[in-house]
Amino acid sequence: MLSRKLLLYATFLILLLSVILFFAINKNAAPATYFVTNDPNKKGRSELDVLNLDYVIYESTPQKDRVAACIAKRYRLNRATAQKLIQLAEKAAAPNNLDSNLILAIAAIESNFHPLLVSSVGAVGLMQILPSAHLKELSVYGNENNWLNPEVNMKVGSNILAKFIKQTKSVEGGLAAYVGARSDLDHPYVYKVKYEFDIYNDCSKGIKRNLFGVAQNHATIEN
């Protein structure tokens, strides 16, 4: 009986220590992409909601509305926030003749639409731009206080991607270069972005998709 009690006590201590260790390791981890709200009009809120995006005027179209619904559901974002993201992506993509859905797909894969994310290597914002590699492009928009701004971050990310596409002469090559794997067109990152892009394109056309799937096959990007 005594040995059984000791075993149970030891098991409890191990579990307790495991929980303490888990929280200690994750204490300084990046905050979650979203937090749930009790507001019945909002399925969830992201840090994007606490940023000042009131100035962004969403120009509704059926296609964009469907993509916004898709992003909101897939990443548990407020629908209005997803709409503003789409508008910003459209503004960032247009000067470079890029598809705004491609910019959105990169933001999704890079940061899960987490605008304040700073990675362990220093990459910043929605598009996870690395200042040490792209300081010239970022500096056009001021100092680091501006680099997490969603509009600035998407513009810079779009400019960088367009430059890489021009250099490599393909969207796949541009994506590989964007993630730092210039010579690897079969890099998993390329397929993840293309899969996400494919989801948004299908959503814009009203084609039903599994919004919680992961990349498994190739998708097509027309530049």
End-to-end Cα, the chain, rounded Å:
73
The pLDDT value given to residue 107: 97
Q: In which residue are the tokens 């039903």 written?
A: 208
- pTM listed for this prediction: 0.74
The pLDDT value given to residue 52: 75
pLDDT tens-digit series, residues 30-85: 333 333 333 334 444 456 655 678 899 999 999 999 999 999 999 999 899 999 99
- The residue-averaged pLDDT of 192-202 equals 96
Dihedrals phi, psi of 68, to nearest 5 degrees: -60, -40
How deeply is 45 buried, as exposed, middle or buried, from its count of CB atoms within 10 A (0-12, 13-18, 19+)?
middle
Distance between CA atoms of residues 104 and 24, nearest Å? 34
Alpha helices in 169-187 (DSSP H): 171-178
The pLDDT value given to residue 132: 87
pLDDT tens-digit series, residues 86-119: 999 999 999 999 999 999 999 999 999 999 999 9
The pLDDT value given to residue 22: 44
pLDDT tens-digit series, residues 148-191: 999 999 999 999 999 999 999 999 999 999 998 877 788 899 99
Q: What topology is assigned to 35-204 in CATH?
A: Lysozyme (1.10.530)
Q: Cα 18 to chain center, whole Å?
A: 31
Q: Where are the domains of the chain?
A: 1-30, 35-204
